[in-house]
């Protein structure tokens, strides 16, 4: 089971997966071409402010959002490795995920993630969003979240 397919399960209930043009704007240097040091600067100057804005709009507790919010211990040991085991792990299959979001609180979060966090982050990184046919290696929930065991 490809865990990235959870991103597709989200498409059953969010509007962000339609045919609209998500082509990232042309920018001088794309994340993928940056050195590690350039990525640190980009995260600090671009990703943090942009993502904090949407997280705070969802829940004011994110006023204290920091690198650790996404990177967990990776922001402390300096690796910034993703996905982060400190972000709540998601269920391991599409079926389990559909079960998981029957909890309205999980649904509320999954909707925020699917409509805002996932597409915004992919745009900022200038990478394609995961799609099983057109972008099987694309950016998905699983670039940030680990998954629980089956
Ligand atoms: C909203 C979530 C989020 C926040 C907040 C965030 N990052 Fe990131 N960061 C990511 C994602 C996603 C990646 C790319 C992972 C991938 O390539 O799949 C990344 C990648 C990185 C990388 C590159 C890692 C590598 O292996 O090359 C560095 C360095 C980094 N972040 C530093 C930071 C710093 C410093 C901060 C705080 C100023 C920060 N990040 C805040 C989500 C975040
Ligand atoms: C850029 C990184 C990133 C991406 C991409 C992402 N998430 Fe998240 N997600 C987070 C962070 C960070 C939190 C935890 C916020 C906190 O500290 O409470 C979170 C929290 C959640 C939660 C709440 C979990 C809990 O028990 O508190 C759910 C559910 C969730 N995400 C689902 C998803 C789904 C589904 C996708 C894909 C559509 C997704 N996320 C994509 C970073 C991400």
> In total, how many domains does the chain have?
1
Task: Using pLDDT thresholds of 50, 70 and 90, give the confidence band for residue 2.
Answer: low
With H, G, I as helix, E, B as strand and everything else as coil, classify residue 16. Answer: helix
For residue 90, say if its preceding peptide bond is cis, omega within 30 degrees of 0. Answer: no
Residue 90 domain flag: yes
Residue 57 domain flag: yes
Residue 23 domain flag: no
Residue 22 domain flag: no
Residue 69 near ligand 1, beta carbon < 6 Å? yes
How confident is the model at residue 22, as a pLDDT?
54
Of the chain, the percentage scoring pLDDT greater than 90 comes to: 81
How confident is the model at residue 16, as a pLDDT?
61
Mean pLDDT of the chain, nearest integer: 91
Residue 45 domain flag: yes
How many angstroms separate the alpha carbon of residue 102 from the centre of ligand 1?
A: 30
Pick the atom of ligand 2 nearest to 97's CA.
35
Ligand 2: which of 107, 113, 121 to mutate, most ligand atoms within 8 Å of CB?
113
With CA atoms as reference, report the closest residue to 115 among 18, 30, 50, 36: 18
Is 102 exposed, middle or buried (CB count within 10 Å of its CB: 0-12, 13-18, 19+)? exposed
Residue 121 domain flag: yes
How confident is the model at residue 141, as a pLDDT?
98
Is the whole model's pTM more than 0.85, yes or no?
A: yes
What count of other Cβ atoms lies within 10 Å of the Cβ of residue 93? 17
Determine the average pLDDT of the residues in 48-59. Answer: 98
Residue 55: give the domain boundaries: 5-10+31-143
Residue minimizing CA distance to atom 43 of ligand 1: 70
Determine the average pLDDT of the residues in 53-65. Answer: 98
3-state secondary structure 28-67: CCCHHHCCHHHHHHHHHHHHHHHHHHHHHHHCHHHHHCCH
Residue 86 domain flag: yes
The better pLDDT of the pair 27, 20 is held by: 27
Residue 35 domain flag: yes
With CA atoms as reference, report the closest residue to 17 among 125, 138, 114: 114
What count of other Cβ atoms lies within 10 Å of the Cβ of residue 56? 14
């Amino acid at each position: 089971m490809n865990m990235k397919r959870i991103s597709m399960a989200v498409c059953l209930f969010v509007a962000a997966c339609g045919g609209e043009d998500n082509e990232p704007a042309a920018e001088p240097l794309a994340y993928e071409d940056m050195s590690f040091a350039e990525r640190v600067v980009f995260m600090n100057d671009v990703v943090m402010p942009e993502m904090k804005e949407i997280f705070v709009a969802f829940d004011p507790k994110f006023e204290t959002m920091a690198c650790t919010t996404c990177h967990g211990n990776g922001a402390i040991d300096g690796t910034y490795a993703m996905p982060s085991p400190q972000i709540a792990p998601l269920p391991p299959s599409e079926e389990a995920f559909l079960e998981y979001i029957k909890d309205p609180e999980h649904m509320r979060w999954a909707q925020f993630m699917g409509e805002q966090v996932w597409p915004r982050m992919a745009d900022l990184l200038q990478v394609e969003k995961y799609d099983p046919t057109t972008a099987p290696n694309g950016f998905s929930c699983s670039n940030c979240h680990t998954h629980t065991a089956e």
